[in-house]
Amino acid sequence: MALTVVSGYDKASFPVTRFYHYLYEPLDVEITETDSGVTKCYIDLILINAETGTTVSTISEYGLFDLLPNITLRVDIMKLIRQYDNADVYKIRAATAVTYQTVITEYAYDVKIRTDVPNETTIKTLPLRGVRSFDLISANPLITGTPSITERDIYGITFDAATAKWSYRDIPVMTLQAPTATDVRPTLAVTDYIATNNSDEPCGGTVIWKSRLGGWMYWGFDIRTESHTGRYEGNIEVGMYETDENGIFTPSDYTKVKTSYTYSLKSLSLSSIELEAFKDIASAPVVYYKHYGSKFWEMMRLASPNVPVSTLSDGGDVSITLRNILKAEQFIR
């Protein structure tokens, strides 16, 4: 009589040691118990401190399922972890405020699967905040080793000081640790990339965004066009009356003014490889804008990215629009 737990992808056993897996991808497990007396399957979440590797707490019976003998139960482990995870980690105003929790979850997890017979087994995982594209998932459903966490890494794009158009300052670079290490927190380096022929930052500003692969991406823009809009709200009945100074006054017919702005950004002459790396900005969970000469980030809403990826061309220009999230309001009464 035995409990069997295998991967829902290829029916293989899970690694004995801890492994990376993307938080927003399924981690399907197939659970089968041969004991005729089994009726329940329990899943306990054991929270592991990312720095020390020690147990923080155990949440018993976080998952509870009916289980019949020799009938396979399929469960998505990452769905359970997502329900527990705190994803409020993007309150960032500068590169130095980036934490390891923007790349991996606050805890590593030991997922104990047991039955009421009792039998048990444990899956050890370290979730990365992200999700890969379909072709990467289908090619390698379970991650082995330490993965690349930015599109720059995937496509081999590095900063070449001799040929770079711009310099970059205060760029966050995260480096993963082996998932089997005691301290699995990624290390942060706030890096300056200085071009040989131009020490200036991009005149159109720098956009920094959270890569769907877990790390942080950045790109500089040649051109910025700024647009401001305002809107009146509310209503006051309009009529003329005398003021204390015996003058005639007509009150305004609004109570509030809201203003907002957008940045239209354009980057010129990207290579085809750079376009491939840039295109996934459309799936970035958060996007920040850094003004020329500033170290501070403003979170903004990405609108209408235009990244012309084509097998018929060897590059092109990129344009995106950013809309402000913070709304400025003024009241008149």
Write out pLDDT tens, residues 18-72: 999 999 999 999 999 999 999 999 999 999 999 999 999 999 999 999 999 999 9
Q: What are φ and ψ of residue 280, in 5° steps?
A: -75, 5
Asked whether residue 146 is assigned to any structural domain, the reply reads no
Asked whether residue 96 is assigned to any structural domain, the reply reads no
pTM: predicted TM-score of the whole model, two decimal places: 0.88
pLDDT at position 139 is: 82
> Torsion over CA of 324, 326, 328 and 329, rounded to 10 degrees?
130
Asked whether residue 144 is assigned to any structural domain, the reply reads no
Min mean pLDDT across 94-103, 243-252, 266-275 is at 243-252
Domain's final residue, options 82, 117, 139 = 139
Asked whether residue 249 is assigned to any structural domain, the reply reads no
pLDDT at 134 over 80: yes
pLDDT at position 18 is: 97
DSSP notation for 122-134: EEEEEEES----H
Domain shared by 183 and 304, yes or no: yes
Q: What are φ and ψ of residue 14, in 5° steps?
A: -80, 155
Number of domains in the chain: 2
Query: And the tokens for 287?
Result: 């996007």
Question: CB pairs under 8 A, 24+ apart, for 11-19?
Answer: 14/123, 14/142, 15/124, 16/124, 17/124, 17/179, 17/180, 18/108, 18/124, 18/125, 18/126, 18/179, 18/180, 18/184, 19/124, 19/125, 19/126, 19/142, 19/143, 19/144, 19/179
Helix (H, G, I), strand (E, B), or coil: what is residue 108? strand
Peptide bond into 118 cis (omega under 30): yes
Domain shared by 26 and 123, yes or no: yes
Contact 300/178 with Cβ under 8 angstroms? no
Torsion sign over Cα 168, 203, 279, 156 = negative
Query: And the tokens for 271?
Result: 């290579």
Would you place residue 306 in the very low, low, confident or very high pLDDT band (cuts 50, 70, 90)?
confident
Task: Number of helices (H) and strands (E) in the chain: give both, helices first.
Answer: 4, 20
Longest distance between any two alpha carbons in the chain, whole Å? 97
Comparison of pLDDT for 325 and 23, the residue scoring more: 23
Distances (CA, A) of 241 to 97, 136, 191, 237: 55, 71, 63, 12
Comparison of pLDDT for 220 and 243, the residue scoring more: 220
Neighbouring C-beta atoms of residue 311, cutoff 10 Å = 5
Domain shared by 113 and 216, yes or no: no
Domain shared by 183 and 126, yes or no: no
Asked whether residue 84 is assigned to any structural domain, the reply reads yes
Domain shared by 316 and 189, yes or no: yes
pLDDT at 234 over 90: no
pLDDT at 308 over 90: no
Query: And the tokens for 81?
Result: 């972890």
pLDDT at 186 over 70: yes
Asked whether residue 233 is assigned to any structural domain, the reply reads no
Domain shared by 199 and 130, yes or no: no
Domain shared by 121 and 176, yes or no: no
Domain shared by 186 and 278, yes or no: yes
Q: What are φ and ψ of residue 200, in 5° steps?
A: -75, 150
pLDDT in tens, 191-202: 999 999 888 999
pLDDT at position 215 is: 96
pLDDT at position 6 is: 95
271: domain range? 151-228+256-331
**Domain with 73 in it: what CATH number?**
2.60.40
Min mean pLDDT across 53-62, 184-193, 236-245 is at 236-245
Asked whether residue 99 is assigned to any structural domain, the reply reads no
Asked whether residue 318 is assigned to any structural domain, the reply reads yes
Contact 318/278 with Cβ under 8 angstroms? yes
Domain shared by 179 and 273, yes or no: yes
Domain shared by 199 and 72, yes or no: no
Token pair 């359970």 is found at 80
Domain shared by 109 and 204, yes or no: no
289: CB partners within 8 A, 6+ apart: 205, 206, 207, 208, 263, 297, 298, 300, 322
Domain shared by 186 and 114, yes or no: no
